[in-house]
Amino acid sequence: MGNQLTCMANNKSVTDSQIKSTRSSSSKKAKSKARLEEELLQQQQALALALFHQQQKVGRAMSQRYNDTAAAAALHRKGGFARSSSARPRSLADPELPPHQFLERPDPSSIETTHFVLVHGGGYGAWCWYKSITDPNCVNSLSQYAKPLSDFLGSLPQGEKVILVGHDFGGACVSHAMEWYPSKISKAIFVAAAMPTNSQRAFDVFAVELMSPADLLLQAQIFTYANGESNAPTALAFDKSAVKELFFNRSPAKDVALASVSLRPIPFAPVLEKLVLTQDKYGTVRRFFVETPDDNALTSALQHRIVAGNPPERVFKVKGSDHSPFFSKPQSLHRALVEIAHS
């Protein structure tokens, strides 16, 4: 009996030793595996970091190619345009590159169509596609810029008319539409907008403000020169830190926040294009102008010059409004639009 107990005790001792050995081995394997995983993770992080820095180098190189600061200096010496976007730091998290840099250009013969229709999701809007839509540097004419409006007017049934309301540079688009679709437009309303005459450019309307060194509009401008330093800018954006004082100085904070993250660069070629406006077409549409007295972008003095240079049928004034009456004085703007509609 005693021998049996001893034997059992010895067997237990061997078993415990084996268990400890197995546990130790498992622990070593787990630690080894953890070290390998940690090393792999570090390698992946190092590779990701290297790729990230490489992307930044590419982004800076492309920025230098398209937005060279020398372009701004060269055109400024000629009495041309101001700041270049090359002086603005890009987001490190998501470098903003022109859309044509994201993908290699396919052979046109290898694809059936290049026409995309972007359909937004529930609760979203057209704004969610802003990083995927047309590069503003590639819009080369007013007709191209105003095509969505032209397509809409062209699709209206015979005899149906609409009232067009244009704000800021949208006034040039409305003028363009008045010339091409006068029978589809009941009235045209220019809200603190360019209202050019025949053979005039939208740039000519804004030139005094754009070129005044003391003006907020000049100070906030950021031009992009995608076609090289010897050519005109291809796009115009505004310093985000200045947009509140420039466009929304009387607007609610929540609207300013929305606008500040939503504003996009403006294609500049359409701004430089002369409009052809005839009395037989453009001249047959009734025109109205809405003034914004507390406007820091298009000052009251400039708006008076616009009205005097191309007098509309009637002028309405939205008291206390900044450049964006749809934010700062929406009810007053609404009343003016309704009154025009009934006139």
216, two tokens:
């907020």
Residue 107 domain-assigned?
Answer: no
The residues assigned a catalytic role are 168, 295, 323
Cβ–Cβ < 8 Å for 221, 82: yes
pLDDT (0 to 100) of residue 118: 81
Residues in the chain: 343
Q: Is the pLDDT of residue 316 over 60?
A: yes
pLDDT (0 to 100) of residue 42: 52
Residue 30 domain-assigned?
Answer: no
What gap in Å lies between CA 173 and CA 145, rounded to an integer? 8
User: Hey, which of 76-80, 102-106, 336-340 has the most confident mean pLDDT?
Assistant: 336-340
Residue 77 domain-assigned?
Answer: no
Residues 192-201: what's their mean pLDDT?
A: 96
Report residue 134's pLDDT band, with 50, 70 and 90 as the boundaries. Answer: confident
More confident residue, 40 or 76: 40
The model carries a pTM of 0.71
The single-letter code of the amino acid at 212 is S
Residue 188: strand pairing partners: 164, 287
Q: Is the pLDDT of residue 217 over 80?
A: no
* Lowest mean pLDDT segment, chosen from 21-25, 41-45, 175-179: 41-45
Q: Which structural domain, as residue segments, surrounds residue 143?
A: 136-342
Q: Is the pLDDT of residue 64 over 60?
A: no
Number of domains within the chain:
1
Output the average pLDDT for the chain.
78
CATH code for position 249: 3.40.50.1820
11, two tokens:
């067997």
pLDDT (0 to 100) of residue 341: 96
Element of type H or E holding 326: helix 325-328
Residue 62 domain-assigned?
Answer: no
Residue 101 domain-assigned?
Answer: no
